[in-house]
């Protein structure tokens, strides 16, 4: 404290604290949900470094492409051909991921909450992600009737276990590869994508596959686009290879969704609530007008008085930001548990980014400075 006077009354500061907390909660709710969607989508195919994806570059989404399943068979690397297909289960939209269990488990680490892990010998069994199991009340031993969306087909699967992965896969069904291919309505020689894990870069993988870069797409895919040789009748067109994070981020950027743009959108919400924040600060100053005039009469300068008010209110601003953050996290968790917070049938992870908190606090601080300017004579 700069001045040793207690002229700011608790009840009036409490009203300001409530306004700041609610405004911060609104901002954090928007920012955390949008950033959770961004993080969940960009890490959809794996968070670890070194996971490279072979994919169809002409596909508009990562779920609709097709590549030959035998690509990379002769390479001494860990590869997981996968089919990701939208389905209907118990009148809810879900995603089923068809995999070769042994290959899949070399890339992704999952923890069995109950039941047993899926094996290569399981033909009509599946394991279900923890979030999906809780939402649809699925237990080990249940029978699931899964309906395909991209093809008029269905399959009945036995639930062998419930797993958790701390990733978007917790909202999916993991089944044998042929099940995904059947529901996708594609030939058994094609998959949606192939994930590769190993000490080899994208260009090296394409070179080993015997695929030459395409001149027309070389700049677009940074030299990683490819034309498929005539020996591979790939109807989907061309193949690319990218690190998992870069691939998913490129899909986001294709539609103008970047981390920065989502932060700007979230800041717009805080900007719209800035009127109430500014009014709250001005009201606090106006309510203490008599006390301020007394302090000014004993020789305190405007600059010293503004600095003192700022120092006294700064801890309240920090506490309000933390309270708003806590309320936002609790609210989003409740909404998520109720099954209302979903994007593409996946629940976005709610994680706190220090940059988001810093952005909120700096904005509130700027409003405090702007509101104090000219209010003290």
Q: What is the DSSP secondary-structure string of 75-138? A: SSSEEEEEEEEEEEETTEEEEEEEE-HHHHTTT---EEEEE----TT-SSEEEEEHHHHHHHT-
Q: Decide if 4 is inside a domain.
A: no
Q: Helix 10-42 and helix 274-287: axis angle, to 10°?
A: 160
Same-domain check for residues 249 and 263: no
Domain extent, residue 343, equals 10-42+257-372
Q: Decide if 2 is inside a domain.
A: no
CB 49 within 8 A of CB 244: no
pLDDT in tens, 312-336: 888 888 888 899 889 988 888 887 7
pLDDT in tens, 57-112: 887 777 788 888 887 776 667 888 999 999 999 998 899 999 999 999 888 888 99
- Residue 272 region by backbone torsions, left for phi larger than 0, else alpha for psi between -120 and 50, else beta: alpha
What is the per-residue pLDDT for 224? 41
Same-domain check for residues 277 and 174: no
pLDDT in tens, 182-202: 999 888 889 998 888 766 555
Q: Decide if 5 is inside a domain.
A: no
Among 224, 254, 284, residue at a domain's last position: 254
Higher model confidence: residue 353 or residue 81?
81
What is the per-residue pLDDT for 215? 39
What is the per-residue pLDDT for 159? 96
Q: Decide if 94 is inside a domain.
A: yes
**pLDDT more than 90, % of the chain:** 21
Q: Decide if 226 is inside a domain.
A: yes
What is the per-residue pLDDT for 77? 75
Q: Decide if 299 is inside a domain.
A: yes
Among 198, 229, 254, residue at a domain's last position: 254
- CA dist., res. 369 & res. 375, Å (int): 10
Q: Decide if 377 is inside a domain.
A: no
Same-domain check for residues 130 and 84: yes
Same-domain check for residues 149 and 206: yes
- CA dist., res. 171 & res. 102, Å (int): 21
Q: Which residues pair with 146 in a beta bridge?
A: 89, 155
Same-domain check for residues 180 and 73: yes
Same-domain check for residues 207 and 279: no
Which of 55-59, 153-157, 267-271, 334-338 holds the top average pLDDT? 153-157
Beta-carbon-side half-sphere exposure of residue 219 (alpha carbons within 13 Å): 1
Same-domain check for residues 63 and 152: yes
> Sign of torsion, CA 188 194 199 205?
positive
pLDDT in tens, 17-64: 888 888 888 888 888 877 777 766 666 666 566 788 888 888 777 778
Same-domain check for residues 208 and 307: no
Q: Where are the alpha helices (DSSP H) in the chain?
A: 10-42, 101-104, 130-136, 177-184, 202-208, 244-254, 259-272, 274-287, 289-297, 302-337, 354-372
Domain count, the chain: 2
pLDDT in tens, 354-374: 877 887 788 778 777 777 665
Number of other CB atoms surrounding residue 1 within 10 Å: 8
User: The whole model's pTM is what?
Assistant: 0.68
**pLDDT more than 70, % of the chain:** 71
Same-domain check for residues 79 and 212: yes
What is the per-residue pLDDT for 259? 64
According to DSSP, residue 229 is labeled P
- CA dist., res. 196 & res. 103, Å (int): 10
Among 254, 270, 301, residue at a domain's last position: 254
Same-domain check for residues 207 and 58: yes
- CA dist., res. 102 & res. 78, Å (int): 10
Higher model confidence: residue 22 or residue 221?
22
Q: Decide if 264 is inside a domain.
A: yes
What is the per-residue pLDDT for 78? 80
Same-domain check for residues 182 and 59: yes
First to last CA, the chain: 20
Across the chain, mean pLDDT equals: 77
> What is the pLDDT averaged over residues 103-130?
91
Same-domain check for residues 217 and 305: no
């Amino acid at each position: 404290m700069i001045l040793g006077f207690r002229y700011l009354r608790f009840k009036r500061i409490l009203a300001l604290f409530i306004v700041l907390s609610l405004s911060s909660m609104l901002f954090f709710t928007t920012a955390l949900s949008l950033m959770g969607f961004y993080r969940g989508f960009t890490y959809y195919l794996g968070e670890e470094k070194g996971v490279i994806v072979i994919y169809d570059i002409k596909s508009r989404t990562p779920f609709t492409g097709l590549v030959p399943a035998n690509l990379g068979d002769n390479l001494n690397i860990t590869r997981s051909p996968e089919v990701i297909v939208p389905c209907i289960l118990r009148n809810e939209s879900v995603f089923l991921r068809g995999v070769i269990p042994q290959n899949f488990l070399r890339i992704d680490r999952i923890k069995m909450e109950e039941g047993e892990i899926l094996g290569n010998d399981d033909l009509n069994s599946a394991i279900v992600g923890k979030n999906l199991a809780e939402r649809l009340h699925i237990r080990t031993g249940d029978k699931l009737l899964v309906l395909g969306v991209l093809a008029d087909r269905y399959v009945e699967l036995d639930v062998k276990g419930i797993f958790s992965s701390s990733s978007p896969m917790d909202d999916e069904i993991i089944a044998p590869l042929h099940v995904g291919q059947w529901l996708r309505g594609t030939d058994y020689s094609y998959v949606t994508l192939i994930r590769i894990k190993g000490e080899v870069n994208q260009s090296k993988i394409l070179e080993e596959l015997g695929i030459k870069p395409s001149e027309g797409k070389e700049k677009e895919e940074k030299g990683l686009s490819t034309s498929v040789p005539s020996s591979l009748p790939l109807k989907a067109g061309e193949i690319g290879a990218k690190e998992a994070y870069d691939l998913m981020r490129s899909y986001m950027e294709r539609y103008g969704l970047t981390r920065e743009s989502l932060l700007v959108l979230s800041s717009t919400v805080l900007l719209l609530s800035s009127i109430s924040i500014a009014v709250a600060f001005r009201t606090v100053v106006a309510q203490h007008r008599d006390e301020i005039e007394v302090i000014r009469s004993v020789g305190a300068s405007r600059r010293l008085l503004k600095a003192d008010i700022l120092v006294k209110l700064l801890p309240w601003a920090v506490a309000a930001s933390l309270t708003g953050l806590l309320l936002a996290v609790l609210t989003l968790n409740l909404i998520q548990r109720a099954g209302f917070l979903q994007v593409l049938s996946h629940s976005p992870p709610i994680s706190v980014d220090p940059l988001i908190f810093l952005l909120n606090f700096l904005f509130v601080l700027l409003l405090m400075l702007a509101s104090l300017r000219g209010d003290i004579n």
